[in-house]
Amino acid sequence: MADTGFAQRLRELRRQKGLSQSELGKLADLHYTHIGRFERGTSRPGGDTLKRLADALDVTGDYLLEGAATEAAKARFEDRELLRQFQEVEQLPDEDKEVIKKLLDAFLTKKQIQALAK
């Protein structure tokens, strides 16, 4: 039985990063034909291969396999709305993520300065 969830997530993440199968293969130290098999759902990576793919795509192996944050990661967030927003941000293009990181950094820096001024 094909794992279409994993296959679709892998393809979508690769495309979001603007990578060809060959380019992802090079980043993950895999032949591009393996990437094609994974994306078609005819093959599934082992643990080491999954880690290399996840690292190359800047996601967790759990996200690639399950499509959501792990229960342990969810437990760290008491604010479910904030968790949902972070999950949406993960799906944005890299340039949008960078803008959000800069905004968040600026906000946190402002809060730290305000705390020091008290």
Are the beta carbons of 51 and 61 closer than 8 angstroms? yes
What's the sign of the alpha-carbon dihedral 95, 48, 62, 35?
A: positive
What's the sign of the alpha-carbon dihedral 27, 33, 38, 44?
A: negative
Predicted local confidence at residue 3, as pLDDT: 62
Every domain of the chain and the residues it spans: 4-67, 79-117
Are the beta carbons of 70 and 60 closer than 8 angstroms? yes
89 phi, psi to nearest 5 deg: -60, -35
Q: Which CATH number fits domain 4-67: 1.10.30.50, 3.40.640.10, 1.10.260.40, 3.30.70.270?
A: 1.10.260.40
Both tokens assigned to 117? 């001024």
* Rounded CA separation 33/8 (Å): 16
10-residue mean pLDDT series, the chain (118 residues): 78 93 96 96 91 89 75 56 81 92 92 88
Are the beta carbons of 35 and 26 closer than 8 angstroms? no
